[in-house]
Structure formats: structure tokens, C-alpha cells
Structure 1
């Protein structure tokens, strides 16, 4: 508190002695004091000193309280993080048990749209009937206004008296006519008001009927579309019950997609069902070892003012990881059989794949680390609530390394079929090439077969296979390669673009969508022209490879074939195709 804030009071004793005093207080500390002295400056000094002491004391108290609050918040935060970490680890440990308390059957009826048409029906709001204007009061002949005003002198003259009476009569006649004119105008106005009102009512009712018709049309379209969608669901259900391949695969996809896992699990998979033998093959993407949470406890160390984390020991991390992978395999098979009320599945083959960094190369690689085949009867004999996941997996004759965290590849018991109805017979094109052939101007179907042959040569050294798809180009797939390498191999989608213009980002986006739809591990786009910067930018962080005309000629040359790419010539021949 400054000196200006110190209020000095002066008092005089009966003997004439002057005394100065002030009263100071500190609300935060709850302090109060009265200071008196005969010297005013002493009072001010003592008051100022006391106020400064209180201010310092208050600042220390506030700092202590703030530090205490901060410590308590930090301790609460540490406790909360510990609680979350423990809950998450417990959830992973109980991955298999979690599903046993849930019915995994898909409720077909819940997939249907039973919602009501969301748009309320149009309401009729008729125009407000107007209030007519009131007629003015008719002039009253008996009122004082129309009485003859006869003065003292007028009374002595009959002529002047008659004149005054006539003037009064004339005034009444004028006002009467004015009143009649005004009444006529008001009546005409009211009549027009009613006419306009009736017309407005007719327009409103007509507009309402139009809006009702449009609303009914929209409602009918909504119900029709809703009915079509629900009809499709009914058909899918009928196809599923009949054991049709596509319907069974779709149903199993819904079952596995609806299963709730910890966020460390990718929950990506590919399914293939054989209606001949009732076997469903599941290629399932498992989490990498470093994807699992390891945090056990968080403490706040007051002396260091920092959080200290305690993580699972490496041995427990490895055990948790291996146990989780066994649980996921058993859980997947259990959920599929439990949901299969149509009894379409005779057996389920689960192939678990892990994508991680290969420590030998430093690059990402995908490997099958475990595989198990289980039939309905074998799994039904087991009580999954009490089994040891690893022992149960082995009892089902599952294959996998003793240490799954080592990411040691194993051969899947059964693999997804490479049969694809889109595949067509190969055509030999590349052998007929010579240096004068312009790839940018060749027939597009021949160009696709050329790409197939080129990549067949590229993959042949590793035992790979490349197949070209039908000329309809459905799904945007021109060729599919299969790399058998157990670590880096898999399905590769290849698209061929015989372009003379720069390839934009849309073509690269289409390729990426096709890779996702096909469940492929990589996509390759080959063109006779070049790519724009936006195309390269989009592909930078995705499993996509963009090969331009120069790359294509280089690959051909590597396999002993010569050709050329002349975009200008091709534009003239193909009219810019």
C-alpha cells in the first residue's frame, strides 16, 4: 500500500496534545492494526513498513499455495496416467477373455435403416385476416357545431337570423357530403382489403398444396431408397444363409470389423472363403512388437519437479507381445465361429502377418509369424475362459516360432488363392519390339501386355509371377504381381498408362485406392510420359512407385530390348490420347 493509501487521522487530547493515527488491514491474511504517534511521519513510516511486511508474507503464502496446488495437480495427473496405463495393459492381457462375454453375431436388422423421414410435413399458415377501417361518425345535426349562432343584434333582424341559420345548415350539408365521400372511400378500401385477403388465402392454399406434393414426393423417394437398401440387406442375408462366397466373406468382414481391440492393433485383414470346402482363410495384420504399450506407472518426483515413468521389463514386454498374438489368433477364430449361425464355416485358417523394421536391412518388411487352422468341433471342445493361449494354439497344431517377438517367418498353412476372374491369357509383345517402335503410340492392350512381360522378367529371378487382367480394366488393375518372398513379398498392383501428357495426381490417387481395395502391399504406376510434382508429392509417403518413360526404357534395355518413346509423334498418331 502506498503512502497515498494510508489515511491519517488527527486527534487532540483535553490537555492539547496532538496525536496522529491510522488503521491498516490485509484482507488476505486477515490482519488488522492501529498505529498511533505524536509524529505524523513516524505513523506513515510504521504503517508503510507493516504493509510491506504483510505484502511479502502474503506473496510467500500465495507461492506456497500455488506450489502445493501444482504438486497436487501433478500427483493427480501421475495417478491418472498410471490408472490409464494399468487399464490398457490389463485390456491387452485379457484380449481373448474380452470377446467371450460378447455375442459376435451380426444383427442383420440393425443394419437396416428404420428411420422416419426426417423432414416434417409442411404446415399451412393462412394470412392474417385484415381489420377493416372503421367508418367515421356521421355529423349530428343536433350538435352545437351546427346550431345557428345568432348574436344579440342578429336577434332583432329576421333576415340576419335566417342567414345565420342558413350558414349552419350549409356547414352541416358540407360536412355531411364530406362524411359520405369518406365513408365511400373507406368502404371501397375495405372491399379491396377483403378481395386481396381472399386472393392471398387462395395463393397460400395453392402454395401449401404444392409444397405438400413436393414433400410427399421426397418422402416417397426416401422410403423407396430406404426400402431398396433394406432389400439389399435382406438379399445379403439370404445369400449368407445360402453359403454364397461373396456374402459369407462380407459377413465375416463385418464380424471382425466390429471387434474392439486396443489401439495398438491395426485390425486390417483380408478374407477368402471357399464354398467348396467351407474353409475361410484370414490373412490378419498383427501389431509390431514396438507398437504395444509398455508404461506401467507414472510418479511425480517433487524434489526434481518432473514425471518419472516406469515401463515393463523387456522380458515382460516380449511375453505380453507373444501372448497377445496367440490371443488374437484364437479370438479371431472364436468370433467367426460364434457369429456363423448359418454354419457356413467348416474351418478357419488364421495367418498372422507382422510389418516391422527388418534389423538386417533397416527397411520395413512383412512376414507371416504364425498360422493355425481350426475346425468348429475342435474349437468347441475348448473352454477359452481358462486356456493358456500359447498351449491352446499349439493344441490346434498351430505353427509359429517359439519367440514370436523375433518376427521369424513361417509358411502359412493355407494361403489366399491367386485365382482372379479378371486374369486373361498372356500375349507375347516384348519380343517383337525394335528400336523404331514408339511405345507411346502402340495399342493400349498391347502396351498392358508389354508391361506384364517386363515385370514378369523383373520378378522371375525370385520365383515371382505376374498376371495381366482383362481389357475391361475393372478396378483399375492392369496387372498383378505376386512376390513369394516371405518377408518382403506379397501382392503388387501394377497399372499401365500409355499417356502422351503429364500424369496428374488423380491417376496416382486412383492407384492408391486400388492398392487399398485389393489388399496389396504395393502399387506400381508405369507411364510412357512423365509425372507432375503433385503426383510425386502424393506418392512420397505411400507404398507407391512411379515409373516414367525413361524408367520403362531402362528396364527394357536391362532385359535386352530396345524401343523409343516419342510423345510428339504419338500425339499426332493418337490425337493426344
Structure 2
């Protein structure tokens, strides 16, 4: 073989390495397709929500307690089996009659004893049967009682869900979301908290970090190294794929919530996408929010999920706040901090109001309520100043946050309401924010907000804090409070 031939042979890629590079490239391409198809895969699975009545267990039947052998009475003794044969006529002449009489008496005694033994045996059997039947009936009663108790709990749970009980609805959706299979190897942590005053479900959802996107675009054979090496994926492409994935996961969460809402108790969803990571500057665990959006049922139902661009949808249609630099774990401020909706942070109210010593906010006057809000803002570290009622141009309080970047001037309105705050109040607050040149407008109420209010607030510097959020803030800052509707 000449030199040129040998050189040509060395330049050829070994068939095994070619196959390996192709196989690894195909695996990367499959991974990317899976990341791009997360929403489509979710839409392929029908979501209906749990029919709580179907959770009722069928009452079990107690196993038979009577032994099979005891079910049928044993036949009694038959005289024919005991009766001695009668002597022949010839034998009678030689004392046979006397011997027969003696044997007959003995047979009658044995027969009587057999009858007595049979009677005692039957009485014992009947006693066992009666006891077994009673035991079986008692076991069946306990099984029926357990089933009835379980059915009653299900009925009570369903009534609580239908009446929009905070804990019951939170539990219902938590279980529904926990059952949802997570695609690929994504984190499974997610939390649901219900705000009945606003028929709002807050979600805190763990997202995969940026490393979920393959850093390799493909693989090739490097003849110099005689090995298969990765072809790096451009950083811009990694960020775009990650943004697309995060947007899909947010829309998938909306699909799961509204699809599982069999009882029609959720009108608005707030989605906070979190990432578990480590701050390389400090080495400490961090959990920044990389996306936050708010969606009403009406907005969601107008979507054609299998036709839209997920990124454009969350950014422009839902006006989501999305981290500009997720690779640096740059956080965004959640539209609603989950702690304000977490049912575990809201202290239960004793139905006997005289036993519960926490002040009922609905018993306050409007002025007293404004002072409570002022006190709360002060405890939160803000510099707050109250305005006199009627001369404030729609402002009850102005709060200043001295922190750089995230701070600023906030105009605050406090609504001591028992009914849902009308959307006009939210629109008026936005006008006040613009007129006052404020950084943000905050509307705090003892009641709740409707979907139209949340829809208007999307993408605007407005924060809506309903009764649940207010109680959570009071709890966090050691202000004893409760909200109990006045007796009509």
C-alpha cells in the first residue's frame, strides 16, 4: 500500500464512530423535540377533574363466618342400625326369646344414647352457627358503618369544595396537580393555594433550570482525536429553547387547573415558576421566581392552545413577567406571593366569635381600617403616610420603599368591603398611579376581586391584595386579625 492510500485510509471515519455520532446526535434531537412538545403532549391527555362521588368505596361484604360443615345438620341415628335381628322360630324354643329381649333392651339403650349424643351435637352446631351469624352480622355492620362514614366524609368534602372553602379547594387542586405526570425528568414540586374571596388559585411551580436544554447541538467524529465530540449549541439558542419550555409549562399549568375545575370554583390563576439552585456568589440555596403570570378563565378559554406560540402568548396575551436573564437566575417579583394564598399561613377562625380574641376587621370603621393598613405597611419596612379622607385624590396612603431598583413611591387604597371590589376601583387606582407619578398602585381590601379586575391589572404596575392576602400579611407581621362577615 502506497503512502497516499494509507493517508486516505486514515482520513476515513471508522464506521463504528460514525454510527455512535449519529446515535448521540439523534438522542440530542429527540430531547429537544421533547422539550418543544411539552404543551402538545399535555393537550393530548384529556383532563376532566376528579368526580368526588367516584371516590366512594363500595361497601365490602363480610366473609362467611359459618364453617361449611356446619351449614347442614347431620342425620340422626336410625333404629334399623341398632335393632337386633329377631330369632328364628326354632331358636325361640331354646331360650332365644329371652336372649332377644335382652339384646333388644341393650339396643334400645344404645339407640337412646345415640339420639342424645346427636341432639347434643346438633345443639352445639346450632349454637356455633348462631354465634357465627351474629359475628358475621357485627363485622358487616362495622364494614357498613366504615363505608357510610367514608361516604359522609366525601359528601362533606364535596360540599366544602362547592362552597369554595379555602382548605378544601386547595387540597382538591393540590391532589389533582400531584397526580399529573411530570414530563421528562422535571421537578415535581408544586403547591396550590386557594383564595375564595377572589375565586383565585395561586400556583407555585418548580421549573427545571437552564441545564435542562442540551448544551450540545449534535455530535461528530473528530479524526484528529479519533473520538466522537460534541458540537456546542449557541447560547442564544439555549436561551430561546428554555424560554419556550418555561412558557409551555406555564400554559400547561393553566390547562391542568382549568381542566380539573369540575366544580367551577376557580376564575383566576396566578402562576409563579420557581427554580431551585445555588447562588454561586454565596454558595447558598436560592429559589428565584423566573416567570409570573395571571390568567382568568375567560382569557384561557379564548385560547387555541395547539395553534399558538407559547412565548408570545405568555408575554403579550397574559403580560407575564419573565426573567430577562434566567441563566443568571435573575428573579422577577411574583404577581402574588404564594405565602399570601397558602392555606397553612391563614389562621382558622373560631365560629364562636366570643372565643376568638382576634379583632374582626369588618368591625372597624373605614378610618380605623386605613390606620391598620398604615400600621401594616410600616411594619413591612415602608415609610407610610396617611391622607385625609376626601381630599386625597383617590389616595388613602402613600408608602415609600427606600430600596434601590425595587423601591419607589406606592399609592395605596384601602377598601373595607364585604362584597367583591368592582373593576372600576382598579381602573381608578391606575389613573391615580399615573396622575401621582407613582411606581406602583396597591389596592387592599377585606373582600376580593373578580376576574375583570385581575385582567385589567395584568401588565400594569398594580398589586391587588384581597382579604386572604391581607390576613396573611397581618399574620407575618404579628398583627392579630380575622375577617368574619357580620350577621345579617
Q: TM-score, normalised by structure 2?
A: 0.53
Residues 222 and 182 (structure 1), Cα distance of their counterparts in 2 relative to 1, 3 Å cut? same
Point out the more displaced range, 409-418 or 117-126. Answer: 117-126
Contact kept? 1:126, 1:201, Cα under 8 Å: no
* Residue 140 (structure 1) aligned with residue 88 (structure 2): yes
Contact kept? 2:208, 2:275, Cα under 8 Å: yes
CA distance in 2, matches of 1:416, 1:224: 40
Residues 129 and 112 (structure 1), Cα distance of their counterparts in 2 relative to 1, 3 Å cut? same
- Match of 1:384? 305
Deviation (angstroms), 1:415? 0.4
CA distance in 2, matches of 1:95, 1:266: 14
- Match of 2:249? 328
Contact kept? 2:60, 2:144, Cα under 8 Å: yes
CA distance in 2, matches of 1:185, 1:295: 105
Residues 107 and 281 (structure 1), Cα distance of their counterparts in 2 relative to 1, 3 Å cut? closer
* Residue 190 (structure 1) aligned with residue 116 (structure 2): no
- Match of 1:216? 137
CA distance in 1, matches of 2:61, 2:213: 44
Contact kept? 2:61, 2:143, Cα under 8 Å: no
Contact kept? 1:267, 1:285, Cα under 8 Å: yes
Deviation (angstroms), 1:357? 3.5
* Residue 410 (structure 1) aligned with residue 332 (structure 2): yes
Deviation (angstroms), 1:385? 0.8
Deviation (angstroms), 1:86? 8.7
CA distance in 1, matches of 2:127, 2:265: 59
CA distance in 2, matches of 1:93, 1:180: 106
Deviation (angstroms), 1:196? 2.2
Contact kept? 2:178, 2:190, Cα under 8 Å: no
- Match of 2:444? none
Gaps of 5+ in 2: 1-18, 220-227, 350-355, 358-379, 382-488
- Match of 1:399? 321
Match of 2:266 among 331, 337, 345: 345
Contact kept? 1:105, 1:255, Cα under 8 Å: no
Residues 283 and 139 (structure 1), Cα distance of their counterparts in 2 relative to 1, 3 Å cut? same
- Match of 1:421? 347
Larger Cα-atom Rg:
1
SS in 2 for 1:374: strand
SS in 2 for 1:333: helix
Deviation (angstroms), 1:351? 0.7
Match of 1:128 among 74, 86, 89: 74
SS in 2 for 1:106: coil
CA distance in 2, matches of 1:405, 1:189: 101
SS in 2 for 1:276: helix
Deviation (angstroms), 1:140? 3.4
CA distance in 1, matches of 2:312, 2:306: 13
Contact kept? 1:127, 1:200, Cα under 8 Å: no
* Residue 227 (structure 1) aligned with residue 143 (structure 2): no
CA distance in 1, matches of 2:88, 2:230: 106
Point out the more displaced range, 325-334 or 230-239. Answer: 230-239
Gaps of 5+ in 1: 1-74, 147-167, 299-307, 426-461, 464-577
Deviation (angstroms), 1:276? 2.0
SS in 1 for 2:287: strand
Residues 337 and 225 (structure 1), Cα distance of their counterparts in 2 relative to 1, 3 Å cut? same
Deviation (angstroms), 1:292? 7.7
CA distance in 2, matches of 1:258, 1:125: 48
CA distance in 2, matches of 1:293, 1:115: 49
CA deviations 1:66-112 (Å, max 9, x no partner) are xxxxxxxxx9xxx9x99999988765543222332444332324543
- Match of 1:251? 172
* Count of aligned pairs between the two proteins: 318
SS in 1 for 2:137: helix
SS in 2 for 1:252: helix
Deviation (angstroms), 1:190? 2.8
Contact kept? 1:329, 1:352, Cα under 8 Å: yes
Greater relative contact order, per chain length (Cα 8 Å cut-off, separation 6+): 2
CA distance in 2, matches of 1:401, 1:249: 28
SS in 2 for 1:187: helix
- Match of 1:470? none
* Residue 369 (structure 1) aligned with residue 290 (structure 2): yes
Deviation (angstroms), 1:350? 0.6
CA deviations 1:373-402 (Å, max 9, x no partner) are 111222222211122222222121112224
